Structure 1
Amino acid sequence: MKTRLVPRPRYMAWLQRWKDRQVIKVVTGMRRSGKSCIFELFRGELRSQGVPDTNIQSINFESLDEEYPTTARELYRYIVQRLGPGINYVFLDEVQHVEGFERAVDGLALREDVDLYITGSNAYLLSSNLATLLTGRYVELRMLPFSFAEYLSARADESNPDTEFNRYITYGGMPFAAQLDDERSILDYLGGVFSTIVLEDVARRHPRIDMRSFTDTAAFLADNVGNVTSRKRIAAGLSSAGAKANPSTVGNYLDILLENYLLFKAERYDLRGREYLATLEKYYLGDLGFRFWLLGKTQGDVGHRIENAVYLELLRRYRSVSIGKVGTAEVDFVATGDSGPEYFQVAHTVLPDETRDREFRPLRSLEDNYPKTVLSLDRVGVGDYDGIRQENIVDWMLGTHQAYK
């Protein structure tokens, strides 16, 4: 079954905004999160705008359907020989498989008749020589799996958002998984994606890694999303569970998980001291489906799962997302966009008075006029309270928002 192309308006708006500008468009993100599909959607848009096929070149270096050049010089010549008159739109998918790809990309970027788009499935793409070589000459779009709005669009026959949201925070938002209905198939698919990442990206760059220990670390982090932690605490937790770990090894595994977008780190920010703190960060999964695959848990821990889902949604809508510290209290998320910071608290429910007081207290202590929102699954009690907005998470996820910032 082929993945149905689902509209992804934030990403399409970003690509349209940068179209025909003399910078390289670099699209990064987890494997199978939809990078190739967004390029396919964009190429369709180019054709609808009158761009002929002769001026569109697309190469997926992981496809076995055709033989493509595998060195920089060969790739450059291959593309240049096929350029049409006027502006040519060149798409290079998973370009890191080409030896010395940075030189080919740099050469193509210097041509006035080429508008260049490239993708990669790990952060190494921009931590390599490419970033140094192209300083000031590229822009990056970080793609995530489906938002909940995109997920519902993919599951067009399903009409109950609340029911689908429970499914979303259980099985995640990987585009192909959204089309699967039975749990066994979803489990098999997610396991295949995880194994591909481990074999194609992790093992290739880190051939001496202990895969058992690495997977144990990933499972521990999946079970502790949203908990304040450190490398030392993670190592201690793994050791108590009988797994081999030390802070140095855990640090290496964290770097690998972050590098492949399986994990994201939210740093803590002192809202009074106006500085980032060096310790006790939080980690969130790049897709909640991997929690299901690694742990086999389909229920429970709803609070941390919805917190993870909100964190990813904030990453889609804002430039940066951190954890806020206010004295001894904590603001779940500080999201910064073009208009300054916005503050968010996330809770399963705030219906008991003591819970409402606890969740609202950190926001009330902030002495500024930036927007403040409490998100929960409650559908009663929503509204404004002394300048703090309380919203239902599902409704907030499906709201109309600005394009990708």
Structure 2
Amino acid sequence: MTVRDTLLVQQRDLQRALAETYVERDTRIAGSGTSLIKVITGPRRAGKSFFAIHHLARSSDRSFGYVNFDDERLTNLLDYDEIIAAVDSVYNKPKVLLLDEVQNLPEWELFVNRLARQGYDLVITGSNAHLLSAELSTHLTGRYLQTFILPFSFAEFLRLTSRELTMQEKIAALPAYAEGGGYPEPLVKRFSSRDYLATLFDSIVYKDIVKRFRVRSVQGIEDLARYLLSNTASEYSYGSLARITRSKSPMTVQKYLGYLEETFLFFSLPRFSFRVKDQVASNKKIYCSDTGFIAAKAFRFSGNRGKMYENLVAIALWKLQLQGQASVFYWKNAQQEEVDFVIQKGGQVTALIQVCTDLTVEKTRSREIRALLKASRELKCDNLVILSERVEKIETAEWFGMVGTVHYIPLWKWLVGPGDSSGS
């Protein structure tokens, strides 16, 4: 099959995708209308390509060319000019190009740089955060803007239903969202996500990590991924992970965890400290990028709603961090009292957030409030939030002379607009 034939087949895939149901995303492409390279990054199958082609189809007054590099017939080419010649033939010499999963092309950054110099309006997608950021910053300094596309947020998940939902229907939708996750394809096409997500997770581990980075200990990275899935929202150190997963050394674990985070399967939040040195030295907390993976792959995690809901909040805040809108941490004092999330903007702590599924237990409620008040005094932040399933109120709390106003917000409502309580 020639390069032109390959692009003709991809063009048909493009036309089918444009005809499919599209759920409007809450994100916009950074740099639209400028000559800067538009970079769209995020996990595999999260909807990057779908988002890009629908954006270009609606917003561009010019036709665009499309090349999907998740195809070995293209990535094995030695002469990249063959690709441009085929694009010109199939799409009538477009000046707007969408290059999909471009990190699969050897020395792709040099190719992209050359196209940019030649005046092409480029939109590129990729599924590896490190490869993209490291190579773009080296070869395209100041000439690109980045947009992150993750699986559906809860607001986007609700948008799958065309009719307006009642409050009770939104509340009822939250457990289904937590269990099934936000990956678009099973949700839009309405089939069970469990097997799909289990297969996708394994595919990312093998295709984007084991194969790309030539990982020798496949069992080691499998054990690490499985342990992290079953212990999301928990603290870790490289040493403890090395002992648990029987890896050779903490350095190996650090490398493997880096791979898992670069492919957007997991992310970590550091412990808050005003001293960067202490932040680096302290344990971090691990979260999964989509709770559907946890339900599909984790061992003995089902039924732990508290951890699952905390992970949902972490994902929403992680999105703010990826977009450069906030820095996110957790807080813990010497007495091991903990606040789930610390939001920092412009050097100031703007919100302290606890996630608690059951506030009817007085001991639990008292523990959450006590930690909030102590963190409030230490971090000089009076925006105190407790997220639970249904409670919505504002009350004044006190603990041995420490006083604060606590905002109780139902989790479903906060997830629809997390910026509302993050100090924005």
Residue range with higher mean Cα deviation, 333-342 or 216-225: 333-342
2:65–2:97 contact (8 Å) kept in structure 1: yes
Distance in 2 separating the partners of 1:172 and 1:264: 16
Distance in 1 separating the partners of 2:256 and 2:161: 35
Q: Which aligned pairs between 1:64-103 and structure 2 lie closer than 5 A?
A: 71-75=79-83, 88-103=95-110
C-alpha deviation, 1:245, in angstroms: 5.6
Residue 39 of structure 2 is aligned to residue 26 of structure 1: yes
Q: Which amino acid aligns with 2:22?
A: L
Instruction: Say which SS state the counterpart of residue 228 (structure 2) adopts.
Output: helix
Distance in 2 separating the partners of 1:156 and 1:68: 44
Residue 148 of structure 2 is aligned to residue 142 of structure 1: yes
Residue 117 of structure 2 is aligned to residue 110 of structure 1: yes
CA shift in 2, pair 1:298/1:52, >3 Å: same
Distance in 2 separating the partners of 1:19 and 1:127: 19
Q: Which aligned pairs between 1:230-245 and structure 2 lie closer than 5 A?
A: 230-239=237-246
Instruction: Say which SS state the counterpart of residue 162 (structure 1) adopts.
Output: helix
C-alpha deviation, 1:283, in angstroms: 0.8
Aligned match of 2:13: none
Q: Which amino acid aligns with 2:338?
A: E
1:71–1:99 contact (8 Å) kept in structure 2: no
2:317–2:418 contact (8 Å) kept in structure 1: no
- Once the two structures are superposed, residues 330-382 of structure 1 have per-residue CA deviations (whole angstroms, 9 ceiling, x without a partner) of 321122346953221111222333222211223223243453311111x2353
2:382–2:405 contact (8 Å) kept in structure 1: no
Distance in 1 separating the partners of 2:110 and 2:211: 22
Q: Which amino acid aligns with 2:42?
A: G
Residue range with higher mean Cα deviation, 117-126 or 322-331: 322-331
CA shift in 2, pair 1:65/1:5, >3 Å: farther
1:219–1:291 contact (8 Å) kept in structure 2: no
CA shift in 2, pair 1:360/1:67, >3 Å: closer
C-alpha deviation, 1:190, in angstroms: 1.0
Larger relative contact order (C-alpha < 8 A, sep ≥ 6)?
1
Instruction: Say which SS state the counterpart of residue 228 (structure 1) adopts.
Output: strand
Distance in 2 separating the partners of 1:105 and 1:42: 20
Instruction: Say which SS state the counterpart of residue 173 (structure 1) adopts.
Output: coil
Residue 366 of structure 2 is aligned to residue 349 of structure 1: no
Q: Which amino acid aligns with 2:330?
A: I
2:41–2:147 contact (8 Å) kept in structure 1: yes
C-alpha deviation, 1:88, in angstroms: 3.6
- Once the two structures are superposed, residues 33-64 of structure 1 have per-residue CA deviations (whole angstroms, 9 ceiling, x without a partner) of 110111022113215xxx032xx222222269
2:270–2:284 contact (8 Å) kept in structure 1: yes
Instruction: Say which SS state the counterpart of residue 8 (structure 1) adopts.
Output: coil
2:291–2:312 contact (8 Å) kept in structure 1: yes
CA shift in 2, pair 1:364/1:70, >3 Å: farther
Q: 2:59 aligns with which of 37, 43, 46?
A: 46
2:62–2:96 contact (8 Å) kept in structure 1: no
Q: Which aligned pairs between 1:5-404 and structure 2 lie closer than 5 A?
A: 5-9=22-26, 11-12=27-28, 15=29, 18-47=31-60, 51-53=61-63, 56-62=64-70, 71-75=79-83, 88-111=95-118, 113-156=119-162, 160-179=169-188, 185-239=192-246, 246-270=249-273, 276-295=279-298, 299-318=302-321, 319=324, 320-328=327-335, 329-337=337-345, 340=348, 341-365=350-374, 366-367=376-377, 368-369=380-381, 371-377=383-389, 379-380=390-391, 382-385=393-396, 386-399=404-417, 401=419
C-alpha deviation, 1:219, in angstroms: 1.0
**Count of aligned positions:** 385
- Once the two structures are superposed, residues 303-326 of structure 1 have per-residue CA deviations (whole angstroms, 9 ceiling, x without a partner) of 111111100011223433222345
CA shift in 2, pair 1:154/1:64, >3 Å: farther
Q: Which amino acid aligns with 1:33?
A: A
CA RMSD of aligned residues (A): 3.3
Q: Which amino acid aligns with 2:48?
A: K
Q: Which amino acid aligns with 1:332?
A: D
- Once the two structures are superposed, residues 245-302 of structure 1 have per-residue CA deviations (whole angstroms, 9 ceiling, x without a partner) of 6423322221111111101011111158896242310110011111122226573111
Distance in 1 separating the partners of 2:235 and 2:293: 20
Distance in 1 separating the partners of 2:41 and 2:86: 24
* Identity %, equivalent residues: 30
C-alpha deviation, 1:327, in angstroms: 5.0
Q: What 5-or-longer segments of structure 1 have no aligned partner?
A: none
C-alpha deviation, 1:75, in angstroms: 4.1
Distance in 1 separating the partners of 2:180 and 2:223: 20
C-alpha deviation, 1:146, in angstroms: 0.8
CA shift in 2, pair 1:272/1:130, >3 Å: closer
Residue range with higher mean Cα deviation, 57-66 or 359-368: 57-66
TM-score normalized by the length of structure 2: 0.80
Q: Which amino acid aligns with 2:302?
A: Q
Distance in 2 separating the partners of 1:29 and 1:147: 14
1:61–1:68 contact (8 Å) kept in structure 2: no
C-alpha deviation, 1:136, in angstroms: 1.9
Instruction: Say which SS state the counterpart of residue 269 (structure 1) adopts.
Output: coil
C-alpha deviation, 1:130, in angstroms: 3.0
